[in-house]
Amino acid sequence: MTDELYNRAKETHKYRRLFFSLCWTHAVALERRKFKMLGWNVGYDFNDSDFEISENILQIYLDENPNEIPWEAIRYLISEANYGGRITEHPDNRVMRAYVADFFCPAALQPKFMLSTLPTYMIPEDGSLNSYRNYARDLPLSEPPEAFGQHANAEISSSLQDTDTMLVTILSMQGGASAGGSGGSRADAVMATCEGLRERLPENIDWEEVRERNDSDQSPLKVCLLQEIERYNGLLTAVRTSLQELVKGIQGFVVISKDQEEVLGSLYEGKVPASWLFAFPSIKSLSSWMPDLVERIEQLNSWAFQGIAKVFWLGGITYPTSFLTALMQASARRNMVSVDTLSWDFPVMSSDESSLAAPKEGAYVKNMILEGARWDPTGGHLTDAETMQLFAPMPIVHFKPVTKKKASEGTYQCPLYLYPIRTGSRERPSFMIWLDLKAGANDANFWTKRGTALLLSIG
């Protein structure tokens, strides 16, 4: 930006204030990446061309509409057409829209317009380009999370992830070094791990027996159950075979293949082998993954032979979206309506699991986790998390099929993800569905900038 360009606008006062808003928006968009998944689902490379095009938009629209600024058009062009052109995730589009809505509004033209809840950050009084540069230079070198509309926990979470990454790298380097000099101890350690895993690995569920039980039942939930059993049986068989072959290789009965070598390395480092992660996504360590798998099989066995639980662990199945589709289809058949006429309602229960009876429609869902907020059980709405409370338990939620309704006021459309990696993978996106939750004392944009989301699993 040069002085000539800075002074070219006809509406100097309005232009300068909104120019500073644009500078702030660009800086926030770039620096928000440091919060990782609580910042953007994807770390976008916003660059100078995004800023320059948006600056041109400001200058042109202000010159052509000096008396009545077309706020909606400016906000749309900046957040959707320009910066939004780089954004691939819908939740991230909401974040950009929230920032642009906050910073490009009539109030931004008034003196001492605050850019965050902190008094340090505001649009300075009109001045030269150098005066704006000097103002920006005097701002703190390290911006607190509140400057981005974030909670202090977001910075803590990001730092913990950085530390975990560093420690994993160090341990993997040590593991590789020790493996070269102590192959026997490495093999012995992996052999002990294999034996322990084989002892704990559940047996396959008898798919044929489940199919033949109440053979006339062709309900969507029965189909979903059989598909889940088939997928989990495939996983159990793959893990069992992998362990058996690896044990034979360590004992010298067969040559260890490249795939088995990768399994051996993962087990030695306490990781879940990549070849075992095809049924459901997870970032858990091996010591946490196996107990989790056992719990999943227990729920599936209970569903198969005792009926579906009155309160269901949605995160315990491989394809939760298929389960929700089955619930919707079952409700449509029961009420003899088209599935297209139904949508979801999400009442949050104040009762605990023991006092709930099975719902007539939909399902009660437990064990969901809030990230970027907590639930206030007294007021029945979202509220800020406590310091160091990175994840908060969500009460039981009734996933209830209802006739399509308009969105309620005072709610936040909260995204539900399979696990903390919000982008998931190309094969398995992590995003599932939007839940309407009461926003409490804050508006929806507040929770959008917080990165507030529900997770089915924290690992």
Assess contact for 279 and 235: CB atoms under 8 A: yes
Domains of the chain, start order: 3-159 (1.10.8.720), 182-308 (1.20.1270.280), 310-458 (3.10.490.20)
pLDDT band at 175; cut points 50, 70, 90: low
Whole-number pLDDT of residue 165: 87
Query: Residue 177's pLDDT band (boundaries 50, 70, 90)?
Result: very low
Q: Which two tokens stand for residue 117?
A: 């809840």
| CA-closest candidate to residue 3, choices 110, 103, 128 | 128
Provide the mean pLDDT of the chain.
92
Mean pLDDT of 136-147: 90
> Of 77-86, 146-155, 173-182, 340-349, which gets the smallest average pLDDT?
173-182
* DSSP state letters, 38-97: GT-SS-----HHHHHHHHHHHHHHHHH-SSS--HHHHHHIIIIIIGGGG---HHHHHHHH
What's 34's DSSP letter?
G
| pLDDT-based confidence at residue 169 (cuts at 50, 70, 90) | confident
Instruction: Give per-residue pLDDT as tens, 430-458.
Output: 999 999 999 999 999 999 999 999 999 99
Largest CA distance in the chain: 85
Q: How far apart are the first and last CA of the chain?
A: 46
Q: What is the reported pTM?
A: 0.91
- Please report the pLDDT score of residue 431 as a whole number: 97
Residue 53: predicted pLDDT: 96
Question: Does pLDDT of 181 surpass 60?
Answer: no
Q: Pick 138 or 176 by higher pLDDT.
A: 138
Q: Side-chain half-sphere of 254: how many Cα atoms within 13 Å?
A: 12
Confidence of residue 26 (pLDDT cuts 50, 70, 90): very high
